[in-house]
Amino acid sequence: MKLTLGFSPCPNDTFIFDALIHHKIDTEGLEFEVFYDDVETLNHKAFQARLDITKLSFHAFAYAVKDYVLLDAGSALGFGVGPLLISKKDLAASDLQEVRSPSHNPQPATHNPQLRVGIPGKFTTANFLLSLAFPNLTNKTEFVFSDIEDALLRDEIDLGLIIHENRFTYQNKGLKKIIDLGSYWEETTGCAIPLGGIVIKRDLPDDLKHKVNRILRKSVEYAFENPASGIDFIRKHAQAMDEEVMYKHIELYVNKYSVNLGPEGRKAVRLLFDTALSKGIIPQIDESIFL
């Protein structure tokens, strides 16, 4: 049986899926037709239910939950892995909006809604966190995530919301961090930040969904046990990324939650959804999220 599968060309995804799509593990009779897209493109494909299995942002999952259910394996959660808000200018978080918790007794903050913000997609979890921390920053323009740094350098935007490997490159271009929004989430909730997950069509047979989850977990475990096995595949899709950055990218986004969400991971995902619902950022969800 062949299933359509979408994930990004980023090192964390190619690391996870290498063994699965290249049959380095037993895929139990399943074949996969693979589509490589940036995460926001995958988000929009999920809204149209175009793929059987896909990576998507957890923020976007709220808009696709009627068609998909979350697998336990393959997710990107963690501490210290969140998106960064950066700028070419000398700005501080207090120049935008106070984001510390009430226990810090924040002083009145300066609001500047006219600041232009480059985001990696409306439905990314990064944009969800930005909306949560800085609800007054509404002048947003969408970019492919890898173009945000250059847009800052060209003064097309005042602030940039960066994800993926750009966490490791922005300083080399003279850009400055304003705030790590992952740290903001962690300090506010005490939970890991859920960034993206792997979902599967809800209407597929339950035994098939569990088979895919089982195979995906084996693929992640194989990658951990044989970290050099997929290096050529990972490098091929890494868009001329420096090898050191490539490995840092994998180390940052692939961890125990990628093998299995577990109770902690499920709690973090549920909290993300509950927080978004309470803020009116996502619609009401009636379906079960988890497999």
Domains of the chain: 2-78+194-278 (3.40.190.10), 84-189 (3.40.190.10)
Helices (H), ranges, 86-141: 93-96, 125-133
Percentage of the residues of the chain whose pLDDT score is greater than 70? 94
Reported as a pLDDT band with limits 50, 70 and 90, residue 240 is: low
50/40: higher pLDDT: 50
- The closest of 115, 74, 55 to 91, measured between CA atoms, is 115
Is 249 part of the annotated catalytic residue set? no
Give the per-residue pLDDT at 96: 87
Length of the chain as a residue count: 291
Residue 173 is predicted with a pLDDT of: 94
Tell me, what's the pLDDT at 213? 98
161 near 179, Cβ under 8 Å?
A: no
Residue numbers in the known binding site for substrate are 55-57, 125-126
Mapped onto helix, strand or coil, the DSSP state of residue 227 is coil
- Rounded Cα distance between 74 and 268, Å, is 15
Q: Given this model, what pLDDT does residue 113 score?
A: 55
The pLDDT assigned to 100 comes to 38
Residue type, 54: T
Token pair, residue 126, equals: 């990064």
What's the average model confidence in pLDDT over 246-262?
93
Residue with token string 């990576």: 55
Q: What is the pLDDT of residue 243?
A: 83
Strand, helix or coil at 208?
helix
C-alpha to C-alpha distances, 62 to 27, 45, 254, nearest whole angstrom: 29, 14, 22
The pLDDT of residue 97: 63
CB-based burial, 232-267: b 16+ in 10 Å, e otherwise:
ebbeeebeebeeebbbbbbebbbbebbbbbeeebbb
Choice among 22, 59, 111, 164 that is catalytic:
164
What was the pLDDT predicted at 204? Answer: 98
Backbone angles phi, psi at 211, to 5 degrees: -65, -45
Look up tokens 């995530």; give the residue.
Answer: 145
Reported as a single tens digit per residue, the pLDDT across 171-229 is: 999 999 999 998 889 999 999 999 999 999 999 999 999 999 999 999 999 999 999 99
Q: Which residues contact 156 (CB under 8 A, 6 or more apart)?
A: 116, 118, 141
CA pair distance 228, 216, nearest whole angstrom: 18
What is the rounded average pLDDT of the residues 246-251? 88
pLDDT of 244 strictly over 80: yes
Please report, in angstroms and rounded to a whole number, the separation of the first and last CA atoms in the chain: 21
Q: Residue 66 carries which side chain, given as an amino acid letter?
A: K
Q: What residues contact 188, with CB distance under 8 A and at least 6 apart?
A: 101
Range with the lowest mean pLDDT among 100-104, 212-216, 237-241, 248-252?
Answer: 100-104
Instruction: Determine the pLDDT at residue 112.
Output: 56
* Average pLDDT of the chain, as a whole number: 91
- Which residues carry a binding-site annotation? 55-57, 125-126
Backbone φ, ψ for residue 196 (5° rounding):
-145, 155
